[in-house]
Amino acid sequence: MLAGDAAEAMKRFAEERFDLIVTDLNMPGMNGLELIKWIRNRMPLLPVIIVSGNLLDHMESVEALSVTGVVRKPFEVKDVDDALSVILREFRD
């Protein structure tokens, strides 16, 4: 499922079940960190991967929200695959 912004993501999140969220840090309206905080209030253990080209200014917030994976832009499919592999290993252990 794709969402154009955080408001659409929140609407879909309320209507559907998700096993994983991948969100960008910068979006129109609410940013990715605010979206993750909103998600954490509803499903604290849901794996979340955040994508951004500028995480250095936000690392403290990313860590505080227990983001499961971080993918830095520009990225390749392998980078996302690596983040997913870490999540899958955590669930197997």
**Domains defined along the chain, listed by start:** 6-92 (3.40.50.2300)
In our burial notation (b when 16+ CB lie closer than 10 A, e otherwise), range 53-84 reads: eebeebeebbeebebbbbbeeeeeeebeeebb
Residue 71 has pLDDT above 80, yes or no: yes
Residue 19 has pLDDT above 70, yes or no: yes
12 versus 54: the higher-pLDDT residue is 12
Q: What is the pTM of this model?
A: 0.84
- Lowest-confidence segment of 18-22, 26-30, 36-40, 59-63 by average pLDDT: 59-63
Q: Which residue is it, tokens 């659409």?
A: 8
